[in-house]
Amino acid sequence: MGALTDKVATKKYEPHVAMGPEVDDDAVFSLLGAPLIDCMLGGGRACCIAYGQTGSGKTHTQTNLQIRAARELFRALETRGEELLVMVSFFENCGDRCYDLLHERHEVQLRDDGTGEVHLAGLRAVPCATVEDVHDALAFGNRVRRTEATAANAQSSRSHSICTLSLHQPSQAADATTPVGSLRIVDLAGSERHENSATHSAERLQEMKEINYSLGCLKECIRSQLLAAKGKKQQHVPYRNSKLTLLLKENLEPGIGEQDHRRTAFIAHVSPMRSSAAHSRNTLDYAAAMIETSRAEQERKKFVGPEQWSKKHMVDWVAQLDGGRFTHLAPSFQMTGKMFAVSWVGELHRRVKAAGGTEADSNFIYDAFHMELKKAKAAQRSRKPSDSSEARTAAVASANQKRKANPTRPWESSGLGVAMELDVPAPHPGVHVQRE
């Protein structure tokens, strides 16, 4: 080891927003919960995931989010005059097993329907007519959830819990598998370090290993997602390595197409205690990876190559090609870019000749398209997400100055972080500091 110096190593994290202990539960819901309710009411799949070490306040945040989400959901339905059925399901994941918290902890099984969608066989959803019905169901589920005392928390949650509020047409009351919209509120069990397990029984040690393993699998999925979003060779995301990641797959994957409406908020909880520094750094590394994955995925989706052209775009492209030389042939190319890319050149000859063109015209259009496709793929391979820390620092400073001049929320004037709308398809981390 080298000689000691008076310099302190630092690492800077830039979450979308940072919330300290002075931020109340209503403010947390206003920033994170309200956009997710809007997504749910719009027919989307929304999710809020709380992560952090044991004792950092995750269950407090998520329990209050459950209550406020139910209240806002019924208020919005009444305002809109929509007659939709609200249903609640609540289960916990312990290692390789899942238990229904609303029905005497009956074990439920994960089933793959063959299309990649994962369903819980035997999980029952409870219909709720009022906010009070939801509150009663959630209070019951939270009471029977598995808890144990740890070094950091006398009542630490020792399972991952997933509460789902879903909207259904009244005629679908008996079918809880086809929601109109849904909101998942996920409270992950807290991680523990081996040095804090000296007094644990063999059962508790096994429990700790299972929790840490599942959280490790989650981190690996996040890392693989980041590589995939950056265009690296390793694009397989190992969701099947644990039941937890398999359950969260639909919420961690970016949406496919404009019609796939999903939003996920990731709340990283950190403790201000010095003894929790290693945990806090690990948690913030999770958050940083999620932010980078989101940024990389957005950058990647800005690229629209020829294979993604619509039929109209294809017709317009042919019409303007080579100075408008093929305008009279353009209507015969009513096909998407993907269809054109896989079309046999003989079929294109037939189309062009039927429209009054020649085989030479068809070859010119075919070669021009595939040249565009080649250029686009080369550009996509070289395209990397902007990762300039200087640019992000300048953006943070600019946003903070604007909020100080025109604060719209009580905590924004403090310049703690950057608040961003959750209107993107990849998960969004925030940082939430433990309340003392």
Predicted confidence at residue 381, as pLDDT, reads 67
* Contact (CB, 8 A) for 293 and 225: yes
Residue 403 belongs to some domain of the structure: no
Q: Are residues 80 and 226 in the same domain?
A: yes
* Alpha carbon 366 to chain centroid, angstroms: 39
* Alpha carbon 145 to chain centroid, angstroms: 25
Predicted confidence at residue 83, as pLDDT, reads 86
Q: Are residues 243 and 311 in the same domain?
A: no
Residue 187 belongs to some domain of the structure: yes
Residue 425 belongs to some domain of the structure: yes
Predicted confidence at residue 154, as pLDDT, reads 56
Question: pLDDT tens per residue, the chain (436 residues)?
Answer: 456 676 777 888 888 888 888 889 999 999 889 999 999 998 889 999 999 888 888 889 999 999 999 999 999 999 988 889 999 999 999 988 999 999 989 999 988 876 667 888 999 999 999 999 999 999 999 888 877 656 555 566 778 999 999 999 887 655 555 788 999 999 998 777 666 665 667 777 788 888 889 988 988 888 887 777 666 555 688 888 999 999 998 888 765 544 457 888 989 998 888 878 888 888 888 888 888 877 666 665 555 578 878 888 888 899 999 888 999 999 889 888 888 888 888 888 888 999 999 999 999 999 999 898 888 877 766 655 444 444 544 554 555 555 445 544 433 333 222 233 333 334 444 444 443 3
Residue 121 belongs to some domain of the structure: yes
Which residue type sits at 422? L
Q: What is the pTM of this model?
A: 0.67
CB crowding 332-357: b at 16 or more within 10 Å, else e:
bbebbbeebeeeeeeebbebbeebeb
* 3-class SS shares of the chain: helix, strand, coil, % to 5: 50, 15, 35
Predicted confidence at residue 234, as pLDDT, reads 54
How many residues in the chain? 436
Predicted confidence at residue 153, as pLDDT, reads 57
Cα(59)–Cα(53) distance, integer angstroms: 11
Q: Are residues 328 and 204 in the same domain?
A: no
Q: Are residues 36 and 171 in the same domain?
A: yes
Q: Are residues 49 and 94 in the same domain?
A: yes
Cα(184)–Cα(127) distance, integer angstroms: 16
Predicted confidence at residue 420, as pLDDT, reads 30
Mapped onto helix, strand or coil, the DSSP state of residue 326 is: coil
Q: Which two tokens stand for residue 104?
A: 């005497």
Predicted confidence at residue 134, as pLDDT, reads 95
Residue 330 belongs to some domain of the structure: yes
Q: Which domain range does residue 177 map to?
A: 18-303+412-433
Q: Are residues 314 and 416 in the same domain?
A: no
Q: Are residues 298 and 310 in the same domain?
A: no
Q: Are residues 321 and 273 in the same domain?
A: no
* Contact (CB, 8 A) for 434 and 56: yes
Instruction: Give one word for 71, left, alpha or beta, with left for phi > 0 and alpha for psi -120 to 50.
Output: alpha
Q: Are residues 241 and 365 in the same domain?
A: no
Q: Are residues 235 and 107 in the same domain?
A: yes
Q: Are residues 351 and 275 in the same domain?
A: no
Cα(38)–Cα(203) distance, integer angstroms: 42
The phi and psi torsions of 266 (rounded to 5 degrees) equal -115, 115
Predicted confidence at residue 2, as pLDDT, reads 57
CATH code of 120's domain: 3.40.850.10
Q: Into how many domains does the chain fold?
A: 2
| Sign of the torsion formed by the C-alpha atoms of 158, 159, 160 and 162 | negative
Predicted confidence at residue 345, as pLDDT, reads 84
Q: Are residues 165 and 51 in the same domain?
A: yes
Residue 312 belongs to some domain of the structure: yes
Cβ neighbour number for residue 413 with a 10 Å cutoff: 14
DSSP single-letter state for residue 238: -
